[in-house]
Amino acid sequence: MGRIALLSTSNKQGLVELATALVQEFGFTLLSSGGTAKTLQAAGIPVTTVSEYTGAPEILGGRVKTLHPKIHGGILARRDRPADQAELQAQGINPIDLVVVNLYPFAETIAQPNVSLAEAIEQIDIGGPTLIRAAAKNHAHVTVLVDPSQYETYLQELRLHGEAQPAFRLACAQRAFTLTASYDQAIAEYLQEVRSPGTEPDILPPVFHLMGQQKQVLRYGENPHQRAAWYISGAHPSGWAAADLLQGKELSYNNLLDLEAARAVISEFLGESAPAAVIIKHTNPCGVAEGKTLVEAYERAFAADSVSAFGGIVALNRPLDVATAEALSRTFLECVVAPACEEAALPILKTKPKMRVLTLPELQTAPTTAIQTIAGGFLVQDIHPVPIDPEAWQVVTATEPSPELMAELIFAWKVVKHVKSNAIVVSRDLQTQGIGAGQMNRVGAVQIALSDAGEAARGGVLASDGFFPFADSVQAAALAGIAAIIQPGGSLRDNESIQAANEAGIAMVFTNRRHFRH
């Protein structure tokens, strides 16, 4: 029969062109089944069905088509083993040189809304992965193609060398096993989420799967001597992979880290009536503010710490307009992201061609788990966003915050959640005035935030991501003129902090929820 190619594809892109070249240029005999065979026959390409070749009909509604010794024996036989060749001859099996398979679209199916378990199960491919793995295992003698993007490269191999070279077959095998691994992972993850009605979900599975498709190789990592790449998960681009880069160079490793930090903070302000802006530096917010207009919100965020804002990352909760674009263009910024951008703002932004400008409509979309590598493994925690619910908060002092102060406390609490521990935020008039981030002790963080705020601390509020173990921080806040404090509470010395607040006439609110960010 000469060289034989087995074609079984759910994605018919490029199939007819590949099959035509295999037959007309290189004299291949084609084996195929199901819809692939029908597509080739409709195109007038000679093809032998798998059922004709094996003598076994397709059964179980097409669930069993290629699972047959004449197929897998032809794929797995080693051409350099006389015993294998003798056995093929004795069994009337021909060697198969090329396997072209792509799989049922399982990930695409489960990504659709309201897909039932039965519908998902039917998209679990059995024969396809078996064919792929068999051909990849025997890549010393067999070529396996799993994506239409490989077809033309394979044909060029044949045109240049008469057959696929060993390095090409190995590369194809590597890609094939990567595909089957990610395919099985998608199935495993989906089934881990399927539970009987009324059962409590596990927080995290006993086996944690982590796999991504490389989107791009980055210039370097955090520093020039570190290699880095950007990987995406899921069948369809989402999150930053779905953002539109309107202008500027490609994103760097540090850009992406800072953009994610910016997205997390600005997501606290989505869906509200007030425009808001956040400026991020080294994954910490250095300026956050609300305003009557978007440009006012940005200018107030910038004014909160104009020194740190230089070269920062800006996130906006409203479409980027002309006035805001003009304000943004007055200084050097690494990146700006907004849910959309007005057409008239684009020419203004282009006056700063090095500034990366992105639109990401789904700024609310967040990861569900956080992963941190350690020696010998990694840590996983679920990201469990807790809605801010002032009704559940507890006023623990004799002085109660006014409605205006309560609005300020809510604002400060939204920000401090996203500052590295130990974290302190001082705000007034819905604008951060001082931020103490990443300090080794809370007293130091308080001193930094109050010092940065200066006189702007008077009448403002102070938010802490963790409780105060001593009264000294409350006393320092009182000396700076702070009117209200919000903190989780939970210290054995809470009464000392409460007493200090009462003595100073400061309102103090316990949220009973801490937000450490190590």
| Number of neighbouring beta carbons within 10 Å of residue 514 | 15
Active site residue 282: yes
Active site residue 38: no
Instruction: Give CA angle at 123 (122, 124), nearest 5°.
Output: 95
DSSP string across 206-268: SS-----EEEEEES-SSSTTS-EEEEE-SSS--GGGG-EEEESSPPPHHHHHHHHHHHHHHGG
| Cβ-Cβ contacts under 8 Å for 469 (sequence gap 6 or more) | 442, 491, 492, 493
Distance CA(28)–CA(297), nearest Å, equals 67
CB 480 within 8 A of CB 433: no
Q: Residue for token digits 């700024």?
A: 363
For 43-126, where are the alpha helices, taking DSSP H only? 50-54, 69-76, 82-91, 106-110, 117-122
> Tokens at residue 401, please?
């915050």
Distance CA(370)–CA(466), nearest Å, equals 20
> Tokens at residue 158, please?
């044949």
DSSP string across 357-402: EEE-S-TT---SEEEEEETTEEEEEE-------GGG-EE-SSSPPP
Catalytic residue among 72, 209, 282, 350, which?
A: 282
Distance CA(302)–CA(41), nearest Å, equals 66
> Tokens at residue 174, please?
């590597």
CB 482 within 8 A of CB 461: yes
Q: Residue for token digits 């740190």?
A: 308
CB 27 within 8 A of CB 55: no
Q: Compute CA distances 105 → 149, 186, 251, whole Å.
A: 17, 11, 30
CA 197, 200, 206, 211 dihedral sign is positive
Radius of gyration for the chain, computed over Cα atoms and rounded to the nearest angstrom: 31
Q: Count Cβ neighbours within 10 Å for each residue of 325-362 and write b for 16 or more, e otherwise.
A: bebbbeeebbbbbbbebeeebeebbeebeebbbbbbee
Catalytic residue among 137, 352, 414, 515, which?
A: 137
Catalytic positions, written as ranges = 137, 282
